Structure 1
C-alpha cells in the first residue's frame, strides 16, 4: 500500500568534500517539489563544517515546505561497528545510508535515500508515492543491469547460486520500508556478505546490498536514476556516477553539468569555479591508504 501523508522523509549522506553536491541536490528537490507535503531531510553528516552546514541551510531558508535535520555520523553508526576492509575508494560516508532507518522516529515507515551526486528534476512526491508492493526496498537497474555483468555486477554470482541474468540495481537511489529494513537487520547482513566474500567486493556496500536483496527487490522506472554519461531529454533524476560536475575533468554529458550548476547557483556557492583533479585524486588515494593501514593494524 502506498504511503500518502503530508510528510516526505529523505536521507542524504555527505562529507565536507562533497557538500556542494549536497547543496545542489537539496535545492533541486526544493525547486521541483510542487505538491503540499513537507520534506524532512535527514542529513547524515560526516564532518561537514558548521560554516558549510549554514550555507546549506541558507539555500532553503525561504522554503516553507523544507526542513533540515543534521545528524553527526558518530550518532548514526553503532558504537561497535566494524567496517568491511575492501579495496575500493569509497569512504565510510557511503555506509551511513545503511543505518538511516535506525535514526528515524518509529512512526516513519518509509524513507527515500539519494546519493548526493544527483540532481532531481521531477516532484519527489511522485517517487515517494510508489507502492513498494511488500518489498523491503526499491531501486533502478545499474548500468550493467545483471549480476553476471563482466565489469560490474556480482563477480561471484555463480558461487552464490544466482543466474547470470538476475537483475542488479544501483544503490544510489532507494525507497526503503524502514520497519522491514530494521526487522531484517539489513546492515548486519550487508556487512557479513562483504566480509564473507571480501575478495569479490567491487562497489562497497552496493555489492553487499545486491547479494542480500538478490532477486527480491522492486524495480522502478529508470528515469528516476538516470546516469549522466547517457543523455536523455527528460530524466527525473540525474546521477553523476563518474567524475563529478564541479571538476574540470568531468566527462559526462555537458547538458547535465549545466543542470547541476543551475541549482548550485541558487545556493551560497553561486559562481564557484571548477576544481582541478588534484583534490579528487588525493582524496581517493587517502581513503585507500587508510583502508590498507586498517588492514595492517587489525
Structure 2
C-alpha cells in the first residue's frame, strides 16, 4: 500500500499543477477581453446607441472606394474626401426657411417609397397571378442584369457631390425601385405624405455626426474649448430628442441650437484628426439607416401587394350573403327560358372566367349598355364552386336588358380530371410583371417594368366546354366596354385562332431565358388578353389544347407556383403564328398601373383594360380611372349596402 501511494503522489502533483496553469490562463484572458473591448474594438462602434457589429466587408460599402482625383492624392486626403462625402450625404433635405421661422409647419414631403436606395435582386422579376390569393405567389426569373445602384457609384475628386446629376440619380433609384417592387413605387409616389418630423430628423443627423467627431476631438491638444462645446451641444440635442417625436414637440429655440451645432461641427471638420475613426462610424450609421429604410420599404411593399392580391372583406361578405340568400329564397331560373340559345352558334357568345361578382357584373353591364342589339347576346360566366351560387343569385336578381347570362360551375365540368392537369382549380387570366433591360437607354434608365396579361389554364379548355360553338369573344373581368362589339364578332380572322392586341413593349426574344430553348421568332411581339375573339373551329384544327398539354408537362413541376407561372410561356408558345393582330384602338390597357394614360386615348378606345395591381374595385385603384368603371356599377343593390361595398 505504501508503494502504491508513493507512486501516485507525483501524478497527483502534476494534475494539480496543470489545473493551476489553466486557472491562470483563464484569469489572464478574463482581464484581456474587457481590455481589448475598451481599447482595440473602440473604433468598431459609433458613440451612442448603435450596436451593429458587421465588418466593413459586410456593410455594403465595399464598392464605395476612394477615387484619386489626379493620381497623386495621398491617403489622408482620400480619408478626408470620404468623410466629407459622407457628411454631405448626412445633410437633411429640409426647406431653407425652416431654420429661420420655426413657427411654420414644415412642408417637406416624404418620398421614401420612391427615392430609397432599394437593392434590386439579380435577374429577378416578381410575377403576380391576376386572381391570386395570399398563398403560392410565384417568383419568376426573367432577362435583365442587376440594376446599377447609386450606392455603388461615386464621381471623381473633390467635386464629386457637385458633379453628380440629381436627376439621373433619381431616375436610377426610381427604376430600381419599380424593378423590385413594381407599381407600389408608383402608388407611393402619388400618395406622398407631409413629414411632421423633418426637424427631429435633422437633429438626429447632427447628433450622429457630432458623436462621430467627438472622440477624436477630445484627444487633440489645445482643443479643450471645442471639445467642451461639442459635448454640450450633444447633451442639448439628446435632451431635446428625449422629449420629442414630431416637430411640434420641440422647443421654440431649436433653430438656434441647430445653427450652433452646425457651427461646432464645421469647426470640428477643420481640425486635423484621424479620419479613419470618423469614416468608419459615419459609414456604419449610414449603412444602418439605409438598411432600416430598405426594410420599411419592403414591409410597405408587402402590405401593398397583400392589399391588391387578396379579396376585400366587403366583396367576400357580398359573396357569402348572396350564397345564403340563394338557398333561402331560390329565384326563378331565367336560364331555362333561354336554353335554346346557349349552344346555338348563330347568337353572339361572350365568355368570362372569374371569381369576382362585382367585377364581372360591370364587364357584362358595360358590354350590354353599349350594344345596339342585346337580344342575341349570350354571356357564359365560368366560375368555381365557391362562387357559383352567389353568381347565380346575383344574375337572377339583376337583369341586363335582353341579354342572357349563363353561369357554369367549373368544378362540375370534370374536364381537369379528364385531361390530367394536376391542380384542380379554376384558372382565370394571369398577369405577370416582367422587368427587362433596354440596351438603347442609358444605364440609369435601362430597367423597364411591363405588365402582361395572358390566358389562364382554364381558357385552354374552351373548345371542350363549348363543343357546339364556332367562335366566342373572351372578356376579362377587369375590362370595361365602351362601344358596340358587333364588328369584333363579325371580324374575319383569316385562318388565325386568336384575335388579340399585340404588345410590342415586350418581345419573345427578351424572354428567352424564361421561355427556354423552343423554336420561336424572337422579334414577335407579346399579345395581351382582356378582349379576344377566338375561332374555336380553327382552334380544334390546330390542336391548341394538345399543344398546351405537351407544354404544360415541360414547364410545371406539380407545384401551384410553377403551374401558375407556366401560363406565360405556354400562352406565348401555344398561339405562335396563330395571332390575328387587332387594331390598338380596340383595347386601351395599362389602367391598373400607369398614371400617364391620356384622356383622348381612353375616350377613343373600344374597351378599357385595368391590367396591373391597382384594380378599380380596390381602394388602391388609380382614382382618375375609377369613374369609367363605376358608372357601370349596379346601383341600389341591398346586399351591396349591407356589406358596405363602395369601391
Tell whether the structures are fold-level matches, with TM greater than 0.5: yes
Q: 1:197 aligned to 2:535?
A: no
Distance 2:369 2:489 in 1: 16
8 Å contact from structure 2 (residues 388, 408) kept in 1: no
Question: What CA distance in whole angstroms lies between the structure 2 residues aligned with 1:206 and 1:267?
Answer: 40
Conservation of the 8 A alpha-carbon contact between 1:137 and 1:176: yes
Q: Which moved more, 1:109-118 or 1:28-37?
A: 28-37
User: Is the counterpart of residue 34 in structure 1 residue 372 in structure 2?
Assistant: yes
How much does 1:30 deviate?
0.6
Q: Secondary structure at the match of 2:405?
A: strand
Contact map agreement 2:520 2:573 (CA 8 A) in 1 = no
* Aligned position for 1:178: 536
Residue of structure 1 equivalent to 2:193: none
Q: Does 1:166 align with 2:528?
A: no
| Bigger radius of gyration | 2
Distance, in Å, in 2 between the alignment partners of 1:177 and 1:273 is 38
Higher relative contact order (CA 8 A, sep 6+): 1
Question: 1:159-198: CA deviations, max 9, x gaps?
Answer: 2232321121113332111122123332332232233134
Question: Structure 2: which 5+ runs fail to align?
Answer: 1-344, 429-455
Paired position in structure 2 for 1:281: none
Contact 2:474 2:531 in 1 (8 A): yes
Equivalent pair of 1:120/1:236 in contact (CA under 8 Å): yes
Closer, same or farther in 2 for the Cα pair 1:249/1:83, shift >3 Å? farther
CA distance in 1, matches of 2:400, 2:521: 51
* Residues 1:53 and 2:392 are matched in the alignment: yes
Structure having the larger proportion of residues in strand: 1
202-211 or 114-123, which moves further after superposition? 202-211
In 2, Cα distance between the equivalents of 1:223 and 1:20?
Answer: 26
Structure-2 separation of matches of 1:6 and 1:191: 30
* Contact 1:137 1:174 (C-alpha < 8 Å) held by counterparts: yes
Shift of 1:42: 1.1
| Number of the residue aligned with 1:74 | 411
Matches within 5 A, 1:103-118: 103-106=465-468, 108-118=469-479
Among 92, 98, 104, which residue is 2:427 paired with?
92
> SS state of the match for residue 537, structure 2?
helix
TM-score (norm 1): 0.75
CA separation of 1:162 and 1:260: change in aligned 2, threshold 3 A: same
Match of 1:140 in 2: 501
Task: Say if 2:347 is the partner of 1:7.
Answer: yes
SS at match of 1:130: coil
Find the counterpart in structure 1 of residue 52 from structure 2.
none
Find the counterpart in structure 2 of residue 286 from structure 1: none
* Equivalent position of 1:242 in the other structure: 612
More helix by share: 2
CA distance in 2, matches of 1:154, 1:238: 30
Shift, 1:53, TM fit = 2.7
1:291 matched residue in structure 2: none
Alignment match, 2:573: 211
Distance 1:52 1:177, change over 3 A: closer
- Check 1:31–1:82 CA distance in 2 against 1; reply closer, same or farther (3 A cut): same
CA displacement 1:217-272 (0-9 Å, x = unmatched): 11001232321133423221111111211111124xx3431111111135835883
